[in-house]
Amino acid sequence: MAQRRVVLFDVDGTLIDTGGAGGRSWSYAFREAFGVDGDIRRFSEVGMTDPVVARETFEGTMGREPTTDEVIRLMMRYVLRLPVEVQESPGYRVMPGVHDLLERLVDADTLLGLVTGNIEGAAHIKISRARLGRFFLFGGYGSDSSVRSDLTKAAIARAEALSGHTLDPAEVIVVGDTPRDIEAAHGAGTIAVGVATGEYSVDHLREAGAEHVLRSFADDAFPLVD
Same domain, 48 and 111: no
The rounded mean pLDDT for the chain is 92
- Name the pairing type of β-strands 93-94 and 16-17: antiparallel
Q: Parallel, antiparallel, or unpaired: how do β-strands 172-176 and 111-115 relate? A: unpaired
pLDDT at 225 over 80: no
Q: Are residues 47 and 129 in the same domain?
A: no
Which of 48, 67, 88 is a domain's end point?
Answer: 88
- Does residue 35 form part of some domain? yes
Q: Is the pLDDT assigned to residue 25 strictly greater than 70?
A: yes
Q: pLDDT tens for residues 76-97?
A: 999 999 999 999 999 999 999 9
Q: In this structure, are 59 and 111 located in the same domain?
A: no
In this structure, are residues 182 and 208 in contact, taking their beta carbons and an 8 Å threshold?
Answer: yes
Same domain, 10 and 26: no
According to the model, what pLDDT value does residue 156 have? 96
| DSSP secondary structure, 56-67, as one string | HHHHHHHSSPPP
Domain presence at residue 80: yes
Domain span including residue 69: 21-88
Give the residue from 94, 73, 90 showing the smallest Cα distance to 20: 90
Same-domain check for residues 51 and 158: no
For residues 143 and 90, give the distance between their C-alpha atoms in angstroms, rounded to a whole number.
Answer: 28
What amino acid occupies position 106?
V
Q: Is the pLDDT of residue 2 over 60?
A: no
Q: Are residues 143 and 196 in the same domain?
A: yes
Asked if residue 178 belongs to a domain, the reply is yes
Provide the 3-class DSSP secondary structure of residue 35: coil
Among residues 71, 88, 105, the one where a domain terminates is 88
- Total domains in the chain come to 2
- The answer on 103 and 142 residing in a single domain is yes
Reply yes or no on whether the pLDDT at 1 is more than 50.
no
Assess whether 14 and 126 both reside in one domain.
Answer: yes
Residue 224 counted as domain residue:
no
CATH number for position 210: 3.40.50.1000
> Last residue of some domain: 88, 119, 135?
88
28-33: average pLDDT: 95
Residues 116 and 185 in one domain: yes
Q: What does the alpha-carbon distance between residue 8 and residue 149 come to, in Å, rounded to a whole number?
A: 12
Residue 126 forms part of a structural domain: yes
pLDDT in the model for residue 4: 53
CA distance 8 to 178: 14
In-domain check, residue 1: no
Q: How confident is the model at residue 195 (pLDDT cuts 50, 70, 90)?
A: very high
Please report whether residue 222 resides in a domain: no
Do 115 and 54 have their domain in common? no
Cα angle 127, 30, 44; round to 5: 65
Closest of 52, 54, 97, 46 to residue 208, by C-alpha: 46
**What does pTM read for this prediction?**
0.93
- Supply the pLDDT for residue 122: 96
Which pLDDT tens digit goes with each residue over 31-49? 999 999 888 888 776 778 8
pLDDT for 121 equals 95
- At residue 105, the pLDDT reads 95
User: Is 219 a member of any domain?
Assistant: no
In terms of domains, do 57 and 109 share one?
no
Q: Residues 108-162: pLDDT tens digits?
A: 999 999 999 999 999 999 999 999 999 999 999 999 988 889 999 999 999 999 9
> What is the model's pLDDT at position 197?
94
Least confident of 43-52, 54-63, 195-204: 43-52
Q: Are residues 110 and 200 in the same domain?
A: yes
- 3-class state of residue 166 by DSSP: coil
